[in-house]
Amino acid sequence: MSEWSKTWTWIEGKWLAGNVPIVGPRTHGLWLSSVVFDGARGFEGVTPDLDLHCARVNRSAEALGLKPLHPAEQIVDLVADGLKRFDPGAAIYIRPMYWAEQGGFYSVPPLPESTRFCLCLYEVAMPEPKGFSVTLSSYRRPTPESAPVNAKASCLYPNSARALTEAKAKGFDNAVVLDGLGNVAELATANVFLAKNGEAHTPVPNGTFLNGITRQRIIALLRRAGVAVHERSLTYREFLDADEIFCTGNYSKAMPVTRIENRDLQPGPVYQKARELYWAYAHGG
């Protein structure tokens, strides 16, 4: 295993260097998945929408029956303190987390009073916007009745991992995942958009996937710039016939899809506008 990138973790009032051990074999979050997190980014000296990510991790905690321990404003302040431990302008992944230490009756429900919190910051380069390939996944997004899809919960990610593993085995980088009705929900790792005739289209939030913070930001920026954005039900056929496809998410912010199945695509003007507008917004424009 390669070494971890430069990492600092705040827990119980202290900053600790490296991948510190903070859970044990009986920790509820470790073996029964009472874990939520959020992801923000520090890059080029900015932390866009950090406050929204810190607020969302508290909502995710409540959705899983955990007890948020820190107001969003306090988490924002902790991030500012932690970033001082890295070189100016370094690309940082910002991950606040909650989990339960103990469970309740039969150990399955988490005990809210046992909730713990940590904030982990670590160096991860911003990916180059070179684009990537996608294929259709045989796996589906769960519904609110079957999984805590209203939270950024760790227990949801093995399903995304299955979709990615399947896609990579077929020679693709990522997967288009459908909802239970057979409409496109998202990619395995990000929200997804298509462009047709100069207008953007993206799956309407229907409770099966997170309405991403970066997604919402880019929709607002495009609309403000005069680009029509339609949130609606979309079929996979519409993606196969799209002029452009791109994704949004915290890790890479905006990234073009350059191949879907056996069809090559080029990064188009709607994607280019989305990325340009987001970078301007992130830097105070």
pLDDT at residue 44 in the model: 96
- Kind and range of the H or E run holding 282: helix 269-282
pLDDT at position 2: 67
What is the assigned CATH class of domain 7-123?
alpha beta
Cβ atoms of 238 and 230 within 8 Å: the answer is: no
Torsions phi, psi for 43 (to 5 deg): -160, 145
- Using the predicted structure, report yes or no on whether residue 83 has a pLDDT greater than 70: yes
What does the block give as tokens for 22?
């903070």
Tokens describing residue 234: 């979309």
Tell me which DSSP letter residue 5 carries.
P
pTM of the model: 0.95
CA angle (50, 55, 60) in 5-degree steps? 125
Q: How far apart are the first and last CA of the chain?
A: 41
Which residue's structure tokens are 């009073």?
113
pLDDT at 38: 98
The answer to whether 95 and 120 have CB atoms below 8 angstroms apart is yes
Q: Are 111 and 105 in contact (CB under 8 A)?
A: no
Burial class (CB in 10 A: 0-12, 13-18, 19+), 45: exposed
How far is Cα 119 from Cα 98, in angstroms, rounded to an integer?
Answer: 9
State mean pLDDT over 254-276. 98
The two three-digit tokens of residue 105, written as one number = 């009756």
Per-residue pLDDT at 107: 76
Per-residue pLDDT at 285 exceeds 70: no
CA-closest candidate to residue 96, choices 161, 47, 142, 159: 47
Dist CA 91 CA 149 (whole Å): 28
Is the CB of residue 156 less than 8 Å from the CB of residue 147? yes
Q: Which residues lie across from 14 on neighbouring strands?
A: 11
Averaged over 36-63, what is the pLDDT? 97
- Residue 43 has a pLDDT of 97
pLDDT in tens, 93-127: 999 999 999 997 677 899 999 999 999 999 999 99
Q: State the pLDDT at residue 88.
A: 92
What average pLDDT score do residues 166-176 get? Answer: 98
Q: What are the pLDDT digits (tens) for 210-263?
A: 999 999 999 999 999 999 999 999 999 999 999 999 999 999 999 999 999 999
Kindly indicate the confidence band of residue 1, based on its pLDDT and cuts at 50, 70 and 90. Answer: low
- The pLDDT mean for the chain works out to 96
CA distance 47 to 49: 7
Of 279, 228, 229, nearest to 253 by C-alpha is: 279
CATH code of the domain occupying 132-282: 3.20.10.10
Give the start-to-end residue ranges of the domains of the chain. Answer: 7-123, 132-282
Report the Cα 70 to chain-centroid distance in Å: 21
Instruction: Give mean pLDDT, residues 267-281.
Output: 98
**Predicted local confidence at residue 104, as pLDDT:** 75
User: What is the dihedral angle through the alpha carbons of 134, 138, 142, 146, rounded to the nearest 10 degrees?
Assistant: -160
- For 257, the token pair is 């899809």
Q: Which residue has the higher pLDDT, 2 or 58?
A: 58
